[in-house]
Structure 1
Amino acid sequence: MKKLLLFLTLFPAVVFGQNHEENIRKIYDAELSSGHTYENLRYLTKRIGNRLAGSSGAAAAVEWTRQLMENYGFDTVYLQPVMVPHWDRGGKDVVKIVNSTKHGTLELSALALGNTEGTGPSGLVGNVIEVKSIAELRELGDKVKGKIVFFNGPMDPKKIDAFEAYGEANPQRSSGAAEASKLGAIATLVRSLSNRIDDYPHTGNQRYNPDFPKIPALAISTEDAELLSSLLSDQSDLKVYMESYGQMKTEKLSYNVIGEIRGSEIPKEIIAVGGHLDSWDVGEGAHDDGSGCMQAIEVLRLYKELGWKPKRTIRAVMWMNEENGLRGGQEYARVAKEKGEKHIAAIESDSGGFLPIGFSSTGTESQREKLKSWGDLFKPYQVWNLDRPGGGADIGPLRDQGPILIGLKPDSQKYFIYHHTEADVFEAVDQRELELGAAAMAALVYLIEQEGI
């Protein structure tokens, strides 16, 4: 009798485990043989293009993704209103060395940083002073008054995780102008945040301090940063001319785009999976973050193709305005709290459409242990790292409501070649790697909606 009871106790668990393996295999088979992720990304990038919040491209992307999810037959598709900042680059960004004893006048590859107030057509000229960090800037004090501060801190090549290197270097871009303005600088130049030496300038967001002047802030390519640094070492009176036209305009109404399949057993428990629909105004926003958006929609589409009804509600969210405001993520969390919605997990893909190697997470110890307990189910698909801390920008505002926050983690080595540049185009995304990421997200959603977390 004891043996029979033991058998009856263990047997359902064994069968349940086998079903997981079989169903995850079905997800991967469906995505890799007949997935829609890649062709949907092609349409988003080639037919719509870049999608800065407040732009016509962003508006077109909102309408297209709404129609796409409606055409897939999701249970509910709706737009969630959100007011977003509207920054306009306004014209060509110009940076020129004007008095080099070696080169005379020399134009550098440059892009204004997001939210930057431009110089206008008159431009500005100033002597350049080089620093490698904000800490080094502060040590110089009033020596930078009346000068252009050149932040030339590279991403640390010794960091194996490129996102860690990016995080360490990012303050000079995001806060450099605000800090330099406090000390009387007239403008900033920033070395592009890339782990490769090339001639692509990288834009990205920067934030001003409202108590100090809004000085122009432009990025130059890593190749030109190396050149400028070399010339400064030989000529301390080097002057640079800067011209840009960026300006903040009146805020605009935009939308998060949301589609969901309601749970059949526990519909009030929600799993959100998504990416940010906006992108910078250069390139096509393919890796950042068209890939994540199309992967999230694909999770729900796979459920429809396979004829599955989830136990818990699955919601695909296209967040708006991650790049220069995070308004979409904040509004989504605010509305969820106001409605008393119960999110048990939020999953974000915003690290590019590269080969998936794992998931990062932020949550309670029991939530993270549950995630790690599924490790063996992912190993056949070479998704091996479920232990890394992290999450995502757009899902961050949900944290105080209790869900585990999860980020899809692809191989990061190539991401910062394309990030925030003209090179972030559809052709830079590999179809198989993109689809493997979509399948990994769908498999994780499946496990969470079946077992909870």
Structure 2
Amino acid sequence: MKNSYRVKNKLTLLIVITFSYLGFAQITDQEQIKKIYDTALSQGKGYDWLNYLSNQIGGRLSGSIQAQQAIDYTKAQLDSLGVDEVWLQPVMVPKWVRGTPEFAYFETTPGVTTNVAICALGGSVATPQQGIKAGIIEVDGIEQLTVLGKDKIEGKIVFFNKPMDPTLINTFSSYSNCVDQRYAGALEASKFGALGVIVRSMNLRLDDFPHTGSMSYGDQLVNERIPAAAISTNAADLLSTSLKLNPEIKFYFKQNCKQFDDVQSFNVIAEIKGTSKPDEIIVFGGHLDSWDLGDGAHDDGAGCVQSMEVLNLFKKTGYKPKRTVRVVLFMNEENGLRGGNKYAEVAASQNEKHIFALESDSGGFTPRGFSFDSTDKDFEKIKGWKSLFEPYLVHYFEKGSGGADIGPLKNEDIVLAGLRPDSQRYFDHHHSENDTFDQVNKRELELGAASMASLIYLVDKYGF
């Protein structure tokens, strides 16, 4: 009887101690995360870093002088944080230059013209020096080319006018559903004898900003390639309406872009070594390159400075990670993904063990949560942290993709994740002239950095 009483007391004590420990761990996590958010909102450096990247350097197209200036600047800032190591990782990148500003109009009757806003798509060839003037035919996506056939397309300019679907709340899904016309429209239209292509900008808003973006000719011979340009959404609607009234409209456009040989560039990398598990690596970052229109503040200057801020927040809050935490500012996401591929290649050659990778490449808007590319078992563990983010309204956790630059790291042992800000305004700015610093809200940017640091803290503490 006495032994039974003792056993019962010991069990009760064990249960009390266990629940006390769990409660203490939870409180400790809450306190550390609050410290991270408080520090980000009161002592963050990211907004100032972004100001310099945007307003002193500007658009950072791969292979450009501005891209190299951004490399030098971010490396210097990371050096100033007093982390364990900062280095540059060489990578060869494509060099494409836009040239003098593009010009376009449509002609309803001889001598009666209306100018429209266009910009060359990244990687496009130039028009002939005198430009191209021809009849224009509107299509609602690549698949319609086959329906129309060569007889109706040959010798004309193809106008791809499939809009982003406004009914999809996830604007990235809307983007994915129609971006093929931008990426492969010129290649496909050339097979039917088209002289060039004009593509509706990937933008949910009606405005006068044409949005560039990468396009590809695949392995097509250079002399078979046709020029491709984006047209603003307002101009696309005007052109479409005008074509309905007069199908004989002529379209003229001129662009002077050029592709050069590859040049050397760099990924910018910095890390804090883990105290007890330094061989396990947690990597996070964004892409340092941008398009040459605007200054790349949202895409992806914001993601870069948020990622740099994670190291700053760990230093300022005194958190010493158990695992190695590493920031990578990838080069050439926009028109080649060379930086992401090079990083993964080097990591594999050095047998590095990456357990987690997080990317911020969806703009500097209010953070809502994260998407995770993981096993069901790991996702269940991650969902257990969701309540810690509820006080900050950053508790949208879903299975999904991580990010383009970290994608090459994917294997069965790593969890990939992406920061998910509110995306409703993202495509208003994406790849366009109005992706500028003044469109970024300081507080929203800082909340995103704090959210990333908090998730990385939890992964570092508990692992998978």
Please, what TM-score do these two structures have when normalized by structure 2?
A: 0.96
Unaligned stretches of 5+ in structure 2?
1-9
The answer on whether the counterparts of 1:41 and 1:426 sit within 8 Å (CA) in structure 2 is yes
Alignment of 1:273 with 2:284, yes or no, is: yes
The answer for the alignment partner of 1:448 in structure 2 is 459
The Cα offsets for residues 44-67 of structure 1, whole Å up to 9 and x where unpaired, read as 111111100000000000011111
The Cα offsets for residues 293-329 of structure 1, whole Å up to 9 and x where unpaired, read as 0000000011111122101110011000000000000
The answer for the alignment partner of 1:389 in structure 2 is 400
Q: 2:154 aligns with which of 125, 145, 161?
A: 145
Q: Which amino acid aligns with 2:113?
A: T
Q: 2:120 aligns with which of 101, 112, 115?
A: 112
Residue 103 of structure 1, CA deviation: 8.5
The answer for the alignment partner of 1:83 in structure 2 is 92
Q: 1:135 aligns with which of 121, 134, 143?
A: 143
- Whole-Å Cα distance in 1 between the matches of residues 393 and 262 of structure 2? 44
The Cα offsets for residues 248-280 of structure 1, whole Å up to 9 and x where unpaired, read as 101110000000001001011111110000000
Alignment of 1:164 with 2:173, yes or no, is: yes
Residue 390 of structure 1, CA deviation: 1.6
2:177 alignment partner, SS class: helix
Correspondence 1:90-109 to 2 at 5 A: 90-97=99-106, 99-101=107-109, 104-109=112-117
The answer for the alignment partner of 1:233 in structure 2 is 244
- Whole-Å Cα distance in 2 between the matches of residues 314 and 2 of structure 1? 40
57-66 or 233-242, larger mean C-alpha shift: 233-242
Whichever of the two has the greater Rg, that structure is 2
The answer for the alignment partner of 1:254 in structure 2 is 265
The answer on whether the counterparts of 2:95 and 2:262 sit within 8 Å (CA) in structure 1 is yes
1:175 alignment partner, SS class: helix
The answer for the alignment partner of 2:354 in structure 1 is 343
Q: 1:417 aligns with which of 428, 438, 447?
A: 428
The answer for the alignment partner of 1:288 in structure 2 is 299
345-354 or 87-96, larger mean C-alpha shift: 87-96
231-240 or 53-62, larger mean C-alpha shift: 231-240
2:411 alignment partner, SS class: helix
- Whole-Å Cα distance in 2 between the matches of residues 209 and 96 of structure 1? 29
Residue 400 of structure 1, CA deviation: 2.4
The Cα offsets for residues 61-113 of structure 1, whole Å up to 9 and x where unpaired, read as 0011111100111100000000000000111111111x314981111101000
1:225 alignment partner, SS class: helix
1:40 alignment partner, SS class: helix
The answer on whether the counterparts of 1:173 and 1:205 sit within 8 Å (CA) in structure 2 is yes
2:264 alignment partner, SS class: strand
- Whole-Å Cα distance in 2 between the matches of residues 327 and 383 of structure 1? 31
Alignment of 1:311 with 2:322, yes or no, is: yes
The answer for the alignment partner of 1:352 in structure 2 is 363
- Whole-Å Cα distance in 2 between the matches of residues 400 and 88 of structure 1? 36
2:149 alignment partner, SS class: helix
The Cα offsets for residues 305-354 of structure 1, whole Å up to 9 and x where unpaired, read as 11221011100110000000000000000111110001111000000000
The answer for the alignment partner of 1:200 in structure 2 is 209
The Cα offsets for residues 101-143 of structure 1, whole Å up to 9 and x where unpaired, read as 4981111101000000011422111110000111112221212
The Cα offsets for residues 192-228 of structure 1, whole Å up to 9 and x where unpaired, read as 0000001011000001132352110000100000000
Report the CA distance shift for 1:144/1:165 in structure 2 as closer, same or farther (over 3 A): same
- Whole-Å Cα distance in 1 between the matches of residues 356 and 154 of structure 2? 49
The answer on whether the counterparts of 2:379 and 2:399 sit within 8 Å (CA) in structure 1 is no
- Whole-Å Cα distance in 2 between the matches of residues 184 and 303 of structure 1? 58
C-alpha RMSD of the superposition: 1.2
2:281 alignment partner, SS class: strand
The answer on whether the counterparts of 1:111 and 1:202 sit within 8 Å (CA) in structure 2 is yes
Residue 364 of structure 1, CA deviation: 1.3
The answer for the alignment partner of 1:4 in structure 2 is 13
Q: Which amino acid aligns with 2:450?
A: A
- Whole-Å Cα distance in 2 between the matches of residues 138 and 17 of structure 1? 60
Q: Which amino acid aligns with 1:175?
A: A
Q: How many residues align?
A: 452
- Whole-Å Cα distance in 1 between the matches of residues 57 and 415 of structure 2? 33
Please, what TM-score do these two structures have when normalized by structure 1?
A: 0.98
1:283 alignment partner, SS class: coil
Residue 402 of structure 1, CA deviation: 2.8
Unaligned stretches of 5+ in structure 1?
none
